Amino acid sequence: YLEFELSWLTSHHTGSNVFNGNSLSLTQNSYMLALQYDIDTFDIFTPYLKGGAEFASHSQDIISPTTPFGHSPVSTNAFGLDIGVGSKVQVANNFMVGLDLMYHSMFTATATPPNSVISVNAIQSYFTAMLRVGFSFGQGGYHTGGAKPPGH
């Protein structure tokens, strides 16, 4: 059967300008919408396929290419696609553990600092492997409409 997943990730980092020590910051918010297809099995092991889209908003301070002692805030948005595989295992009647291996590919988003003609890449592709622990609701916990495997 199909599952729908909505994820949100926020990330904030600070650093300093190597030329003058002024603080620099980077903030990124990512939103992911995914569909997950659970492959029915008559067992406690459930493999699945997952895919979706990701949207990111990104703002950061960039050292000015014309005056290295200054910096400018820039913002951009990006779109990407996600695809992955995973599996869940029922540990108890209403408890499962799962492992996802997801590949996130963001399309390059560039930003141009004020008073500059040089664009810089603000968002690039990345690879993520996730280990997740989850809780499932329902009678019996099996993904076959409540049917239990033979002998259970």
Task: Please tell me the predicted confidence (pLDDT) of residue 136.
Answer: 61
SS3 track for 62-130: EECCCCCCCEEEEEEEEEEEEEEEEEEEEEECCEEEEEEEEEEEECCEEECCCCCCCCEEEECCEEEEE
Residue 129 has pLDDT above 90, yes or no: no
- Angstrom distance (rounded) from CA 2 to CA 38: 6
Task: Please tell me the predicted confidence (pLDDT) of residue 53.
Answer: 95
* Confidence bin at 135 (pLDDT 50/70/90): low
Average pLDDT on 130-150 reads 52
* Confidence bin at 93 (pLDDT 50/70/90): confident
* Confidence bin at 2 (pLDDT 50/70/90): confident
Low-confidence winner among 9-13, 27-31, 120-124, 128-132 (lowest mean pLDDT): 128-132
Task: Please tell me the predicted confidence (pLDDT) of residue 132.
Answer: 62
Task: Please tell me the predicted confidence (pLDDT) of residue 91.
Answer: 80
Task: Provide the 3-class DSSP secondary structure of residue 20.
Answer: coil
Number of neighbouring beta carbons within 10 Å of residue 28? 17
Task: Please tell me the predicted confidence (pLDDT) of residue 142.
Answer: 46
